[in-house]
Amino acid sequence: MEIESNTKQQVIVIGLNLKNNPRFNYSMEELTNLVTANNMEVVRTLVQKLDHPDAGTYFGKGKVTELGQLAHAYQINTIVANDELSPSQIRNLSKATGANVIDRTALILEIFANRARTREAKLQIQLAKLQYQLPRLHTSASQRLDQQTGTSSGGGFTNRGAGETQLELDRRTIGRKINNIRHDLKTVAKSDQTKRARRNETNLPNVALVGYTNAGKSTIMNQLVQRFGEHEKQVMVKNMLFATLDTKVRHLQFSDNKAMLLSDTIGFVSKLPHQLIQAFKSTLHEAANADLLIQVVDFSDPHRQLMMDTTKKVLEEIGITNIPMINVFNKADLTSERYPSFEDSNSLIMSANDSHSIDTLVDLIRRKIFKNYITKTLLVPFNQSSVVAYLNEHANVIQTNYLANGTKIKVEAPKEEMGRFQKFDIK
């Protein structure tokens, strides 16, 4: 549900531009989007150029004073920092400004906590939050963060009363909770593995949509499911960061009896908290096992190259390398670019809302994943009609003729599959 803008919590965002980082503006813009995604509103932005963050207060002394004055003048009681801060930086900055200080990691964890829907996603985010809180147990800022999160997400320790939660949070309790969650996650992972094994048995090509959050992955998934899958299996699309938090796999069936599995995955963002990397790893099995990755990029975003770099980095971080990838430069309808068109043979400029674009994308995907298909003409004796029936059901039958000595059938199938019918081969 949307909350009216006047009820949004107003915040000041702060960031350090270390050594004139060329990605700095992009990361500040991203932070603003993350703040908005967490139903808060950026009122002011304050940045400082430094070579290193101040070990005690993140910003340098003069800037901290300026921040305190700004917070006072605008009556803002929450400050969001663009980096992960140490517990003492949070404590000192909070004390010096009189405001609650949240760092980028806590913000992302908070968004995830509010979005998580499935049991696995909820467990993963609880685990990440506990790992974040463990070294911060005694900071006043973490108390406030606990109080905020205590009311916002379901499941686990967070749905108890805020005061009670704080009292309970000693290291031992957290340690025990972490163990319990790990145990629960193993059980969930086991049932997922079974499902995955069942899917792998089908031997279908696996294609995964990956990329930066809000690029249009789920929209593309829905367009493809609508045409080639079961209509009712649409996934959620929303104009917000991290709309998708769990991988969804759909079976797509083409009219020529070829089929594939398509996975929609969680979106990426830069400087992903390391506590969340494991969560990403476990929800990205499908991408890790894919035969083809489709990287979806918001082509209308001026930072698209940095977003692609982010995707590359996150994929590397979670160990997904060496899988063939095509690029979909989506949302071209918001630009003056002609679409659908190819930037190069692996990069399609398109719009998910345009059916011609979707056709072109499907062609591209099919060219990549059905490379191993070959066409043969077979002559199957009439007493082996089950072979003809099998081919009609599982392969792409292009032409059938009934001759005196059997059924002549021109058929397209994967090379390995075709080997089984070699004895009927007449060409």
Ligand X SMILES: Nc1nc2c(ncn2[C@@H]2O[C@H](COP(=O)(O)OP(=O)(O)OP(=O)(O)O)[C@@H](O)[C@H]2O)c(=O)[nH]1
Annotated binding residues: 211-218, 242-246, 264-267, 330-333
Q: Which of 132, 330, 335, 145 is nearest to 219 (CA)?
A: 330
Task: Determine if 158 is a binding residue for ligand X (CB under 6 A).
Answer: no
**CA–CA distances in Å: residue 79 to residues 49, 136, 159, 392:** 18, 17, 25, 64
Nearer to Mg ion, 104 or 217 (CB): 217
Task: Determine if 216 is a binding residue for ligand X (CB under 6 A).
Answer: yes
Partner whose footprint covers residue 353, from Mg ion, ligand X, none (CB < 5 to 8 Å by kind): ligand X
Select from 100, 131, 213, 327 the one that contacts ligand X (CB under 6 A).
213
Binding residues for Mg(2+): 218, 244
Q: Which residues pair with 103 in a beta bridge?
A: 81
Select from 333, 392, 410, 417 the one that contacts ligand X (CB under 6 A).
333
CB of 77 to Mg ion, least distance (A): 33
Measured at CB, which residue is nearest to ligand X?
Answer: 267
Nearer to Mg ion, 138 or 238 (CB): 238
Site string for ligand X, 261-290 (x = CB under 6 A): ------x-----------------------
Task: Determine if 295 is a binding residue for ligand X (CB under 6 A).
Answer: no
Select from 5, 7, 239, 422 the one that contacts ligand X (CB under 6 A).
239
Q: Which stretch binds ligand X (CB under 6 A): 59-67, 92-100, 106-114, 236-244?
A: 236-244
Select from 32, 126, 330, 396 the one that contacts ligand X (CB under 6 A).
330
Binding-site ranges for Mg ion (CB under 5 A): 217-218, 243-244
Select from 32, 105, 149, 218 the one that contacts ligand X (CB under 6 A).
218
Partner whose footprint covers residue 115, from ligand X, Mg ion, none (CB < 5 to 8 Å by kind): none
CB of 244 to Mg ion, least distance (A): 3
Partner whose footprint covers residue 279, from ligand X, Mg ion, none (CB < 5 to 8 Å by kind): none
Nearer to Mg ion, 69 or 226 (CB): 226
CB of 22 to ligand X, least distance (A): 25
Site residues for ligand X per CB under 6 A: 213-219, 237-239, 241-244, 267, 296, 330-331, 333-334, 351-353
